[in-house]
Chain A
């Protein structure tokens, strides 16, 4: 699993076919996340990012969104091995083009008097929020497409960043657009 060091510039996620998104519905029981992570580690599959939380189904189930580096192993194998876990209920997988992906970032940046307004402007331009105000620092939040988060993170580096946390992306399949009348496809 790639862990970004604190304050380091973001690396763009592997582009194109290298990464694939797995949306895994699992039983919300103690140890399930450990089983999933253990499986990936044991089989040598690389996790780029992972996000997990209970779903709305009476909290019996959780959804784990995993971005897998499919150069480490064929996607088919990853899905098949994951499916063998007794606690895994269903798996759907999406290429980035088939998914609606979002991510959230929190970052504390140096923002003394000389640069405070710049930071606030930058946040405004991206449509983010200032969520905590300190004497010389600001904590900012941005939610949006992963690529937008990457750009924002890159620009924050100038301030510099004191501490940063990204959630990892969550994703659901893109819905089919209803076809407009009179328009050929």
Chain B
């Protein structure tokens, strides 16, 4: 069957069971947009290519399926660089198709030409420039294979315009061998001897901690981790990328560790004698000063990426493999032996939880605490609500104060920390899980970066809900300036009324609601939760001077954790 390159490209995406893609057409990608009209794939037209990228990420993070975005050449492609970089840091499977100028024009500084494969080499798992229409099916199949296997990640396929217009004989690769990836062989099976050794260590540990990272969600290993935790009685911490991978309500759950983790989670890692890392990467936000991290711990590190083992901390047992397969192997290797007696360890953990719970001061007068808003949203949220956050103080409060009991209900930008992630990612998440309520908890600074995608949401009838914790500042930066720069506030004030978020939301086809005092909060949330046919934006006027606690100052050892001033002065 003879097809044009454009038809072959769309057909290849259909062969990969792509249901939706997010994009914006332009000159170089124009031929590809024609077959979209008769394709089974739903195309969501965005208002900025960065929005397309983050939507694809939000979609991928809640569904586990690769997110797909389509953009044109030049500025269209460079506008999606931030989402690619973001997906690279968080190992999110993304397939971006970018148009490119005709092959004969490449390298001549043609109109809307950009060496996007060169630009994105360092932020994609791999990328391809297709030079002949015949390569299209094989390349698309290879791209999806690379994006979704091993450690997931973003890929980019660059398609020159003449390639889209050329004709080719249709085929679809039969097997992995036809993908022409002689150098790509992810290891998924953990070494049985290493698994046995790790099980021995777990059986003997007196103060173990299971350090659960985003990889557990990628591997769909939540159940296996629960089995391991219950089998050993070990406490579990879930990183910022893994919230919900182990239920917050579970008695064995200590919550989030890291720079803004709770005292018990952070201190448990510092004082443990065995640290079992499952799909986590010893990120600097979690370790604090690396040579002072978990000083008494023997480390077991399970990861599908061999380069992560020993990158930050040399483990006593490193296991390269799929998290689910290895965790199930660990449970099996533990056999019928009685679980170790962790009574003393749990006594200590409960004492810390009692002494230093997550805390904020009740507001006096009409002030609205941002943490209280998060709690109110949480308590009124329908079951299975998906929470999406931007980056900053609001993100930390959302992660700390929400109760995540299910995997794939928390979407945020961890490794890259991309402000403006929330609104488009929420749109993508809602497209992926239309049956769920999706609440974006965003900051006013972040909101202003990508809010235009609410127009996309209104136009496409994607009813997301956005809670802006509007404190009129770039809050996290303001906090650092208060704590470490002697209250010298440089370029952080935004203003609560400019823009008028309610008016702006309504202009974008959403319902706009404002909550200025504690009494406004309940009714605002109720009203928002009742709206199902269009997006809602709630402008919560929150207290500007709240700080996120606890905090481990950057570069400091985790032992230097700073708790809320009201909690200081207690014995450590």
Contact = CB atoms under 8 A, between A and B. Distances in A.
Interface of A: 26-27, 30-31, 34-35, 38-39, 42, 74, 76-77, 80-81, 83-90
B307 interface: yes
Given A34-B118, A80-B306, A86 B183 contact: yes
A112 to B, nearest CB: 45
Nearest to B307: A80
A84 B118 contact: no
B117 interface: yes
Given A77-B310, A80-B306, A80-B307, A89 B183 contact: yes
A85 B310 contact: no
- Per CB-CB distance, the 3 closest pairs between chain A and chain B, nearest first, are A80-B307, A86-B126, A89-B183
Interface of B: 117-118, 121-122, 125-126, 129, 146, 181-184, 305-307, 309-311
7 contacts: A27-B183, A34-B121, A38-B121, A80-B311, A83-B307, A85-B126, A87-B126
A83 B309 CA distance: 14
Contacts of B307: 77, 80-81, 83-84
Contact of A42 (B122, B146, B181, B184): B122
A34 B118 CA distance: 8
Nearest to A37: B121
A1 B309 CA distance: 26
Q: Which of B121, B126, B309 has the most CB of A within 10 A?
A: B121
A86 B122 contact: no
B121 A86 contact: no
A26 B183 contact: yes
Contacts of B146: 86
Nearest to B180: A27
B306 A86 contact: no
B117 A31 contact: yes
Nearest to A82: B307
Contacts of A85: 126, 183
A82 to B, nearest CB: 9
A128 B121 CA distance: 42
Contacts of A80: 306-307, 309, 311
B406 to A, nearest CB: 32
B183 A88 contact: yes
A184 B305 CA distance: 45
Given A34-B118, A42-B122, A86-B126, A76 B310 contact: yes
Contacts of A76: 310
A83 B185 CA distance: 10
Given A27-B182, A89-B183, A84 B305 contact: yes
A19 to B, nearest CB: 21
Contacts of A31: 117-118, 121, 129
Given A76-B310, A86-B126, A35 B182 contact: no
A90 B185 CA distance: 11
Contacts of B122: 38-39, 42
A85 B118 CA distance: 14
B45 to A, nearest CB: 32
Given A42-B122, A86-B183, 10 more contacts: A30-B129, A31-B121, A39-B122, A76-B310, A83-B307, A84-B305, A86-B125, A86-B126, A87-B126, A90-B183
A26 B129 CA distance: 18
